[in-house]
Amino acid sequence: MLPFFYYDPTWILLLPAIILSIWASARVNSTFRKYSQVYNRFGLTGADAARRILDMNGLYNVRIERVSGDLTDHYDPRSNVVRLSDATYSSQSVGAIGVAAHEVGHAVQHATGYAPIKIRNSIVPVVNICNVLSMPIILLGVILSYNQTMVDIGIILFSATVLFQLITLPVEFNASSRALNTLETQNMLASDELQGARKVLRAAAMTYVAAALSSFMSLLRLILLFGGRNRD
């Protein structure tokens, strides 16, 4: 049974997701690189923009820290910290402002009780466990004279990853929407600069779409390969 993991016609299901993932990754890097060379007229850095948006939302207790790397920006709800990468923290570029505002958008979501981010954060520990156990359980089920119950359990566990990716989509889209709306209404970027920030965030959003598609197609492939194989 193991050859099904190495060669089978269902691999073609993954091809669109693979292509989209490669394209999305290249797109976000090239778009950010382009707009990291376009500087805002007001001289704001990524950290300045983040602090200003946090303060206008009353989030004075949320810290801003610098983290190494490029596009490693994230909000950590456990530590109540917005971490901005080297390419964002002290940069005055339009790309950096957009990314910083997006990460602050997550902090605002958390503070206002935005439902999708509450759900996503609450299921993270469960999803991590499911990720670790799903494939070993499926493999074990195949090896043990094709134990369909074990295989089904593994597939169900893997579906948690798909659920997580689907919940992530509205969280990310909403954070970008909040970011762009704030940058516009608070006149933190000029109109032409706002277009650059919008392109950066749209490119970043496609990486999450690609991840969701990849997870869904992987689940579909597992179901076609192993779901109900020995049932009459």
Q: In this structure, which amino acid lies at residue 161?
A: T
Helix (H) and strand (E) counts in the chain: 7, 3
Tokens 């509450």 locate to 118
DSSP 213-230: HHHHHHHHHHHHHHTTTT
Residue 30: CB atoms within 10 Å:
11
CA torsion angle 151 156 161 167 (round to 10): 170
Q: Which of 65, 103, 172, 184 is catalytic?
A: 103
Q: In this structure, which amino acid lies at residue 209?
A: V
Specify whether 103 is catalytic. yes
Conformational region of residue 44, where left means phi above 0, alpha means psi within -120 to 50, and beta covers everything else: beta
Residue 82 phi/psi, 5-degree rounding, is -95, 120
Name the residues annotated as catalytic.
103
